[in-house]
Structure 1
Amino acid sequence: MQGEAKTQPASSYTLTANKPDVFLVQEEDGVLYFHELQVDSWKTYNNQFLKVLIENSLNDTLLVYPESEENCAVFRSLQARHEDDCSIKLHEYRDTSPREGISVAFTVQKGRKSYLMNCTSDRTLEFQEGNAPSYIPGDRSEYIFYQKFFSEGDSAFSFESSLLAGYFLASKEENGLKKLALKKSQDQVDDNLRIQIK
């Protein structure tokens, strides 16, 4: 009948499964429409990783000591690298939000144990026993770092913490050792933030 508003059943609800994906379901004219909701998160990229050597601007190689009392990583000579069983893996993640740089996480294989590098709220680094998670919810994570080219035309990188904006992985002198640490970036170029991946 003309002028009469046509009413149609409509409903919406959220479905969740064992997977982290969330869908919005809308019913219209008896048809269900599924829409994936974009929630902030990271997922591993094809579950791939690269075994890498990490060097500072002086070409010292990073070695990790997760079982020591200090639970630290130290840049040492290449000779010391050959005497250690430390293996570092770089894991690439895909982000639901556009970011500047590639989202990555680091794990360390020491003997039969695997350790995951993370930054803490008090701006320190530590290594916890465990593997790289396949899914990380949220838009900040203690595990995720943004890999960016250090400068234009340079093959080295910088790695910014996603948890602590403006803080980068850096080589820092401490008690006669060159340790891997977090450092606040300043406006000027700081070679301590220059990290080479090989």
Structure 2
Amino acid sequence: MSGFTRLTNKLELVQALCDPSMKIGFIQADSQYVIIMNINNDLLNAYPEQSLLTFKSDVQGETAEMFIDMYIYVSCRKKKEVPVVLSCKLNNKTYLLCVENNSVVLKESEMPGKIHSETSEFIFYKRDLYTGCRTFESSVESGYFLAWSKEDRSLGLRPYDQDKLDESAAFYLIPADTRVFKGDPTTPIPSHVWNNHNELLIAHPEQSIVKFEPEPHIEAEKATFFQDIYRELAVTNKGTPMAMSCKVDNKTYLLCVENNSVILKEDKLPAEIPTKTSELIFYKRFFSDGQSSYCFESSFIENHCLAWNTEGPEKKLILKPYSGNGIDETMKFDLQEKTSDIL
């Protein structure tokens, strides 16, 4: 899904504006799939069943897609603000963000093509606040703006003094297609991973770690890692974005970064990751020119790559700063697609 989708034909828009039944109000113009973030870079998430919107930095499970629909005034009054409707989609249902009894709630509804009124519980006036930030004033509660609570990070409505800087009413709107990883429909690639000592990477989900070990007496499923390729809509040229997972005792474990460590976490692979970084995503690229070995850079912590620990008896998988010189062989991995001949 990308770009603007509704009323992109100019003739269609002119005909709507000339509709004799429309003397006042708004007509829908364009729609865009967006990510909405607060000043702390937390994502806005919608929970229609609870009629709740809240900002969170760590989002798990299926999340609603957020949209912003631009509208046009029917009257020719010149105003700097842009009338918009904010909505979300989840499980093929559309929910509109609206003002009700001085609160912000979600209502299941189709997007209105026309609004025959100068105000609407769905219409907010989008304004530029400062560089890159926007505010949203209610059309039915003049002087009241969307803002988030520092106590529970929920989205609500509150009076706003435009002469003062209130960061709780400042929001970033980011086109979603520039900050998203999408799962590739191809089948995950089962592989074995070796280090330069010919040791095999083994999963230990009971300890939430992975480490390199000698080959004998190894359970086959603990030595099989799946390469799940993702498609990155933003161009970074860092390599192929991918996640690594394993299946042990019919449970799926994901390799991820947590507090600068590398762990195994029981979870399902998301079909889409709506952020430009993820604890699950690593960029796979050749270790150095002319070699068939690979290194894996974390998308979550910049300039850090997967490596194995040389301190202590266990060669655990860790995250290590990457110098870019291509000589640290603890970051060098050989991949072999799994066949019946291995192990």
Q: Shorter-normalised TM-score: what interval?
A: 0.7 to 0.9
Distance of 1:59 and 1:44 partners within structure 2: 31
Higher share of residues assigned strand: 1
Aligned amino acid, residue 273 of structure 2: I
1:114-129 equivalences in 2 (<5 Å): 114-120=252-258, 122-129=259-266
Does the C-alpha gap of structure 1 residues 174 and 84 become closer, same or farther in structure 2, counting only changes over 3 Å? Answer: farther
Which structure is higher in RCO with an 8 Å CA cutoff and minimum separation 6? 1
CA distance in 1, matches of 2:314, 2:263: 17
| Inter-partner Cα distance in structure 1 for 2:273 and 2:310 | 32
Match for residue 185 of structure 2 among 33, 46, 54 = 46
- Give the TM-score normalised by the residue count of structure 1: 0.80
Runs (5+) with no aligned partner, structure 1: 1-6
C-alpha offsets along residues 100-144 of structure 1, whole Å, 9 cap, x if unaligned? 210000111111111111102x21011111121111111000000
Residue among 212, 217, 221 paired with 1:85: 221
Q: Which runs of 5+ in 2 are unaligned?
A: 1-12, 18-26, 34-62, 73-112, 114-174, 337-343
Q: Is the partner of 1:48 in helix, strand or coil?
A: coil
> Is 1:23–1:37's contact at 8 Å kept on the other side of the alignment?
no
Letter in 2 for 1:85: E
Equivalent in 261, 264, 269 of residue 132 of structure 1: 269
> What's 1:66 paired with?
205
Q: Counterpart of 2:310?
A: 173
The answer (yes or no) to whether the contact 1:41–1:135 under 8 Å persists in 2 is yes
Runs of 4 or more, structure 1, over 2 Å off, are 7-16, 18-27, 36-39
SS in 1 for 2:330: helix
Counterpart-to-counterpart distance in 1, 2:176 and 2:310? 46
| Percent identity of equivalent pairs | 23
Aligned to 2:284: 147
Per-residue CA deviation, residues 63-119 of structure 1 (Å, 9 max, x unaligned), is 010112xx21110112143x4531311100001111221000011111111111110
**Of the candidates 239, 253, 257, which is equivalent to residue 101 of structure 1?**
239
Report how far residue 14 of structure 1 moved. Answer: 2.9
Q: Tell me which of 97, 106, 111 is aligned to 2:249.
A: 111
Q: Does 1:196 align with 2:328?
A: no
Cα RMSD over matched residues? 2.7
Query: For residue 57 of structure 1, what is the aligned residue in structure 2?
Result: 196
Q: Give 3-state SS (helix, strand or coil) of 2:184's partner.
A: strand
Question: Closer, same or farther in 2 for the Cα pair 1:98/1:39, shift >3 Å?
Answer: closer
Q: Structure 2: how far apart are the matches of 1:174 and 1:73? A: 15
The alignment partner of 1:114 has SS state of strand
Total equivalences in the alignment:
180
Distance in 2 separating the partners of 1:179 and 1:37: 36
C-alpha displacement at 1:12, in angstroms?
A: 2.8
Closer/same/farther in 2, CA of residues 103 and 194 from structure 1, 3 Å limit: same
1:48 counterpart letter in structure 2: T
3-state secondary structure, aligned to 1:192: helix
In 2 relative to 1, CA 15–154 (structure 1 residues): closer, same or farther, beyond 3 Å? closer
When residues 26 and 50 of structure 1 are mapped into structure 2, their CA distance, relative to the original with a 3 A threshold, is farther
Structure of higher CA gyration radius: 2
Are 1:56 and 1:196, in contact at CA under 8 Å, matched by a contact in 2? yes
Q: SS of the residue aligned with 2:242?
A: strand
Q: Which residue number in structure 1 is paired with residue 29 of structure 2? A: 12
